[in-house]
């Protein structure tokens, strides 16, 4: 949790407050952005954009509407999506894998999943799938919100998520039962 004192300092545009806020939130923002953006330079650029927006708009932060972490996370996600829209326009045009890839994960039951297992698989998921999956599953956006964020139809968001899950199941689990789970 970010201390109110730090937020107040930032609201009065004190550089020391901005430094403290960065140090408190940067790991969280980094982790958020990393879920969407892969290249280190892009992550750096997006982080800078995100914090620039945070510092500029911190006066409009309303505590009653949610925690500071969720507010800053929303900014980070929006910034990451903006970069994706600008840089990866053709990713969705690349024909998608037809599930011929090798199994990356070693688990046979999703109850035993670790963060590392999921990270490995997510790093390989085609981008269009990954973004919808991350927005829906990890960041908790609804299909309606995703459709607005990505300017796609709600049905498209749903189908992308379903495909993403199939892909992840097939690549994550090493037994047929778990794989089959994802196909339904």
Partner 1 sequence: MDSFDKKISDLYNAEQSSNDLPEGFGWDDMNEGIYKKMEEPKRKKKFFWMWFSFAGSLLLLTTLLFFFNFETKNITSTPSNIEDSKAEKTPIHLDKTTIENSLEITKTISETPTKTKERYTISTNQNSHKTSKENIKKTKLAKVPASSIQVKIPESSTEPIKENQQLIKEQTVQESIISTNKTTVLKESLVATKRLAFISIQKDLIPMERRLGPPIVLVPSHVISPNKTNKEDEKLESKNKKKLIGLSSLQLYGGTLLTSGKYSQNPLRNKHSRWLPGYYAGIELTVLNVKKWNINFGYEHKFAVQLFDFQNITDIIETVVEDALVGISTNSINGSQSENRETISTQANRTRNYVNYNTFRAHAFRMTIVRTFNLSKNLSFNPGIGSSYNFLNKANGRTVDSDKNTLNYNPSNSIYRKNNFGIEGGFSLSYQIGKFSLNGNVWMEKSLNYSLESVGEIRPVFYKMGLGVGRRF
The residue ranges that bind partner 1 (CB under 8 A) are 18-19, 22-23, 26-28, 30-32, 35, 40, 44-45, 47-49, 51-52, 55-56, 83, 85-87, 89-90, 92-95, 110-111, 113-115, 118, 120, 123, 136-138, 140, 150-152, 156, 165, 181
Tell me how far apart the alpha carbons of residues 31 and 36 are, in angstroms, rounded to a whole number. 9
Query: Min. distance of Cβ 120 from partner 1 in angstroms?
Result: 7
Q: Which is nearer to partner 1, 27 or 65 (CB)?
A: 27
Query: Min. distance of Cβ 172 from partner 1 in angstroms?
Result: 10
Query: Min. distance of Cβ 125 from partner 1 in angstroms?
Result: 12
Query: Min. distance of Cβ 78 from partner 1 in angstroms?
Result: 14
* Other Cβ atoms within 10 Å of 121 Cβ, number: 22
Which residues, in sequence order, are CB contacts of 160 under 8 Å at separation 6+?
A: 128, 129, 132, 133, 152
Tell me how far apart the alpha carbons of residues 184 and 176 are, in angstroms, rounded to a whole number. 13
Query: Min. distance of Cβ 65 from partner 1 in angstroms?
Result: 19
Q: Which is nearer to partner 1, 65 or 95 (CB)?
A: 95
Which residues, in sequence order, are CB contacts of 114 under 8 Å at separation 6+?
A: 107
Q: Which is nearer to partner 1, 30 or 61 (CB)?
A: 30
Residue 135 is classified by DSSP as I
Give the CA count within 13 Å in the CB-facing half-sphere of 81: 20
């Amino acid at each position: 949790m970010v201390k109110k004192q730090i937020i107040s300092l930032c609201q009065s545009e004190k550089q020391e407050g901005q430094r403290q806020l960065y140090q408190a939130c940067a790991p969280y923002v980094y982790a958020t952005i990393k879920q969407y953006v892969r290249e280190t330079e892009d992550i750096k650029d997006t982080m800078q954009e995100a914090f620039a927006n945070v510092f500029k708009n911190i006066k409009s932060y309303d505590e009653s509407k949610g925690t500071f972490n969720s507010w800053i996370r929303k900014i980070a996600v929006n910034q990451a999506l903006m970069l994706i829209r600008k840089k990866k326009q053709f990713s969705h045009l690349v024909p998608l894998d037809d599930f011929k890839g090798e199994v990356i994960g070693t688990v046979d039951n999703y109850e035993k999943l670790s963060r590392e297992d999921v990270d490995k698989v997510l790093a390989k998921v085609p981008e269009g799938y990954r973004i919808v999956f991350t927005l829906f599953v990890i960041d908790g956006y609804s299909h309606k919100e995703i459709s607005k964020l990505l300017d796609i139809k709600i049905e498209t968001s749903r189908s992308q998520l379903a495909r993403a899950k199939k892909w992840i199941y097939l690549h994550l689990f090493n037994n047929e039962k778990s794989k089959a789970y994802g196909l339904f």
